[in-house]
Structure 1
Amino acid sequence: MTSPWDLYDELIDEIPADLTATSINTEGKWRRVSSSDSGVGMAFGMNVQSRPRAVSDPAELLGRPLRDVAALAKSWNFEDAGIGVAAINAYHCHPDRALAHGFTPCAENNWARTFHPYAPLVADKRVAIIGHFPFAPAAMPDAGELIVLERNLFDGDYPDSACEYLLPEMDYVFISGSAFVNKTIPRLLELAEAAHTIVLGPSTPASPALLRAGATTVLSFASAHAARLEDGLAGRSLLGMYDAGMRVRLSRA
Structure 2
Amino acid sequence: MPENAGLSSPAKPALTGIYLLIAEQAESSCIIRDVTMGLAWTCIQVEDPATGQLGSGLCFSPTVHDRNIPWSGTLTGKPVNDLLPWLQSWHATETAVAIAAANAVLSMNNPMIGQATPIPTPVRAITDSNLSVFQYFAPRLRETTAQGSHSQKKNVTIIGRYPGIDKLRSQFDFAIIEQNPQGNDYPAVAADYVLPDSDWVFITASSLFNKTLPHLLSLSQNAEVVLMGPTMPWLAQWKAYGVDHLAGVEVKDYELLKRIAMEG
Structure-1-length-normalised TM-score: 0.81
Residues in 2 aligned to 1:125 and 1:142: alpha-carbon distance in whole angstroms:
12
Kindly state the Cα deviation for residue 176 of structure 1 after the two structures are TM-superposed: 0.4
- Residues 1:138 and 2:167 aligned together: yes
Of 221-230 and 12-21, more deviation after overlay is shown by: 221-230
Residues in 2 aligned to 1:100 and 1:200: alpha-carbon distance in whole angstroms:
14
Q: Which has the larger radius of gyration?
A: 2
- Residues 1:220 and 2:248 aligned together: yes
- Residues 1:22 and 2:36 aligned together: no
Structure 2 residue corresponding to 1:111, chosen from 130, 151, 159:
130
Tell me if structure 2 keeps the 8 A contact 1:24–1:59.
no
Counterpart amino acid of residue 65 in structure 1: P
Any stretches of 5+ residues in structure 2 without a counterpart? Answer: 1-11, 48-52, 122-128, 143-152
Match of 1:152 in 2: 180
Match of 1:167 in 2: 195
Residues in 2 aligned to 1:43 and 1:15: alpha-carbon distance in whole angstroms:
15
The count of corresponding residues between Structure 1 and Structure 2 is 230
Residues in 2 aligned to 1:102 and 1:42: alpha-carbon distance in whole angstroms:
18
Residues in 1 aligned to 2:116 and 2:253: alpha-carbon distance in whole angstroms:
18
Aligned-pair RMSD on alpha carbons? 2.5
Kindly state the Cα deviation for residue 170 of structure 1 after the two structures are TM-superposed: 0.2
Kindly state the Cα deviation for residue 56 of structure 1 after the two structures are TM-superposed: 2.2
Distance 1:77 1:155, change over 3 A: farther
Counterpart amino acid of residue 27 in structure 2: P
Structure 2 residue corresponding to 1:122, chosen from 118, 121, 141:
141
Structure-2-length-normalised TM-score: 0.78
Any stretches of 5+ residues in structure 1 without a counterpart? Answer: 236-253
Moved over 2 A (4+): 1-5, 47-50, 55-59, 99-103, 109-112, 134-143, 152-156, 231-235
Residues in 1 aligned to 2:30 and 2:120: alpha-carbon distance in whole angstroms:
31
Match of 1:39 in 2: 55
Match of 2:209 in 1: 181
Residues in 1 aligned to 2:105 and 2:137: alpha-carbon distance in whole angstroms:
29
Distance 1:207 1:2, change over 3 A: closer
Structure 2 residue corresponding to 1:208, chosen from 231, 236, 244:
236
Tell me if structure 2 keeps the 8 A contact 1:101–1:208.
no
Residues in 2 aligned to 1:9 and 1:24: alpha-carbon distance in whole angstroms:
23
Kindly state the Cα deviation for residue 49 of structure 1 after the two structures are TM-superposed: 6.7
Tell me if structure 2 keeps the 8 A contact 1:118–1:140.
no
Kindly state the Cα deviation for residue 47 of structure 1 after the two structures are TM-superposed: 3.4
Residues in 1 aligned to 2:91 and 2:184: alpha-carbon distance in whole angstroms:
29
Tell me if structure 1 keeps the 8 A contact 2:15–2:218.
no
Counterpart amino acid of residue 139 in structure 2: P
Kindly state the Cα deviation for residue 30 of structure 1 after the two structures are TM-superposed: 0.2
Residues in 2 aligned to 1:17 and 1:120: alpha-carbon distance in whole angstroms:
40
Match of 2:90 in 1: 76
Residues in 2 aligned to 1:200 and 1:2: alpha-carbon distance in whole angstroms:
21
Identity of aligned residues (%): 23
Cα displacement string for residues 182-216 of structure 1 (whole angstroms, at most 9, x for unaligned residues): 11111211211110100101111111122221101
